[in-house]
Amino acid sequence: MIDHRLSEEYADLRKTVEEFAREQVAPVIGDYYEREEFPYPLVEQMGRMGLFGLPFPEEYGGMGGDYFAFCLALEELARVDSSVAITLEAGVGLGIMPIYRNGTEEQKREWLPALCAGEKLVGFGLTEPGGGSDAGATRTTARLDGGEWVINGSKAFITNSGTDITAGVVVTAVTSGAAGDGRKEISSIIVPSGTPGFTVAPKYSKVGWNASDTHELAFDDCRVPEANLLGGRGRGYSQFLRTLDEGRVAIAALGVGLAQGCVDECLRYIREREAFGRTIGSYQAIQFKVADMEARAHTARLAYYHAASKLLHGEPIKKEAAIAKLISSNAAMDNARDATQIFGGYGFMNEFPVGRFYRDAKILEIGEGTSEVQRMLIAREIGATG
């Protein structure tokens, strides 16, 4: 029997995060956003709520939940603000998850408790200035010298990499020349913050996600212990492919939250705003536009629910994750555009959430693999590439 209703446990979690987002995030996030300031108090509250530890076992300081619970939390946060949501998404999906999936027992014991508590953050250093979606074109290198990895190179657009509570980054690097099949050996290495030779550039000036933390990173003969290798030499490529597949489900949940948040804001606005003697919600043109927005959010939600379900059952999700990410990012962008139009001139003002939503939506069609990459993956998975 197919049943898309949430269990009592999932429903309680969704309600708890929804209340937190509405009562704690919504009243203050606009000021953080305009100041381009990281919301440390909100992150601390999310840590106390256990949101950073949602999908991890209690033995490592987690909540003993699963990836779907994590996605539900992301959706509810993004209904109010995407900067807070992406801080959690990157903190868990890109920061903690690679260490949990691939780390030694010693690495997990050392890193996970503080990360699951939200006391510390870890960035995921994959993207490079000249690489973009071509993650296999990694140029950052790491060579062994006297029991240490010597890292040289740079990374771009790395979330949670320069906050006051950032404990380090997981970096992908080429650890040997091309093999017989022409592929580079790529490995993942943990680089603690403050390591000599590891430099965090000033924060980017961004179009959106202005209350989140994003930096370029540089490594100049940066030395870390050989034991900081994550998951075995040469395993980095397969590790980040899995990380990206799972991350696309999480980003899809975030996109659905933004799309639904646009509906929420419009429903409030059209009941109050009057034009030509009537509330604008009484005009069928507005009703149809909001109905289309709700349909997009609903469809995208079903897509990420499906991908998350397959993930929890241990089934392949490459196609489903790509579909969910593609549909949800389209829904977020389309709904943000329509919401801004419904709000008219007020939609162009930063004091209204829909203006922030519009600025935040575009990156969803780019990050964690562009929409073009998602279509490429879908085509490959269904055998449409010839």
Give the per-residue pLDDT at 174: 95
CB 184 within 8 A of CB 138: yes
pLDDT band of 135, cuts 50, 70, 90: low
Give the per-residue pLDDT at 5: 86
pLDDT of 86 higher than 80: yes
The mean per-residue pLDDT over the stretch 333-338 comes to 98
- Write the pLDDT tens digit of every residue in 20-64: 999 999 999 999 999 999 999 999 999 999 999 999 999 999 999
The mean per-residue pLDDT over the stretch 73-102 comes to 97
For the record, the structure tokens of 12 come out as: 């309680």
- Write the pLDDT tens digit of every residue in 257-303: 999 999 999 999 999 998 999 999 999 999 999 999 999 999 999 99
How far is the C-alpha of 385 from the C-alpha of 193, rounded, in Å? 43
The mean per-residue pLDDT over the stretch 339-359 comes to 94
How far is the C-alpha of 309 from the C-alpha of 313, rounded, in Å? 6
Give the per-residue pLDDT at 237: 87
- Name which residue leads in pLDDT, 212 or 243: 212
- Write the pLDDT tens digit of every residue in 371-384: 999 999 999 999 99
- Write the pLDDT tens digit of every residue in 189-242: 999 999 999 999 999 999 999 999 999 999 999 999 999 999 989 998 889 889
pLDDT band of 17, cuts 50, 70, 90: very high
Share of the chain above pLDDT 90, in %: 90
> Residue 169's closest CA among 206, 123, 111?
123
CB 142 within 8 A of CB 173: yes
Give the per-residue pLDDT at 130: 78
pLDDT of 2 higher than 70: no
CB 286 within 8 A of CB 280: yes
Q: Which of 59, 246, 368, 372 is labelled catalytic?
A: 368
- Name which residue leads in pLDDT, 183 or 159: 159
Query: Could you tell me how many residues make up the chain?
Result: 386
The three-state (H, E, C) secondary structure of the chain, written as one string: CCCCCCCHHHHHHHHHHHHHHHHHHHHHHHHHHHHCCCCHHHHHHHHHHCHHHCCCCHHHCCCCCCHHHHHHHHHHHHCCCHHHHHHHHHHHHHHHHHHHHHCCHHHHHHHHHHHHCCCCEEEEECCCCCCCCCHHHCCCEEEEECCEEEEEEEEEEEECCCCCCEEEEEEEEEEECCCCCCCCEEEEEEEECCCCCEEECCCCCCCCCCCCCEEEEEEEEEEEEHHHEECCCCCHHHHHHHHHHHHHHHHHHHHHHHHHHHHHHHHHHHHHCEECCEEHHHCHHHHHHHHHHHHHHHHHHHHHHHHHHHHHCCCCCHHHHHHHHHHHHHHHHHHHHHHHHHHHHHHHCCCCHHHHHHHHHHHHHCCCCCHHHHHHHHHHHCCCCC
Share of the chain above pLDDT 70, in %: 96
Give the per-residue pLDDT at 128: 92
pLDDT of 154 higher than 70: yes
For the record, the structure tokens of 202 come out as: 């000033």
**Whole-structure pTM value:** 0.95
> Residue 157's closest CA among 124, 121, 118?
124
pLDDT band of 184, cuts 50, 70, 90: confident
> Given the structure tokens 């007020």, which residue do they identify?
346
- Write the pLDDT tens digit of every residue in 118-129: 999 999 999 999
pLDDT of 183 higher than 80: no
Give the per-residue pLDDT at 300: 98
Q: Which residues are registered as beta bridge partners of 185?
A: 176
Give the per-residue pLDDT at 186: 93
The domains located in the chain, with CATH, are: 8-121 (1.10.540.10), 123-234 (2.40.110.10), 238-381 (1.20.140.10)
Average pLDDT of every residue of the chain = 94
Active site (annotated) includes residue 368:
yes
For 348, what's the count of Cα atoms within 13 Å in the CB-facing half-sphere? 3
How far is the C-alpha of 306 from the C-alpha of 320, rounded, in Å? 7
Give the per-residue pLDDT at 137: 78
> Given the structure tokens 């994959």, which residue do they identify?
126
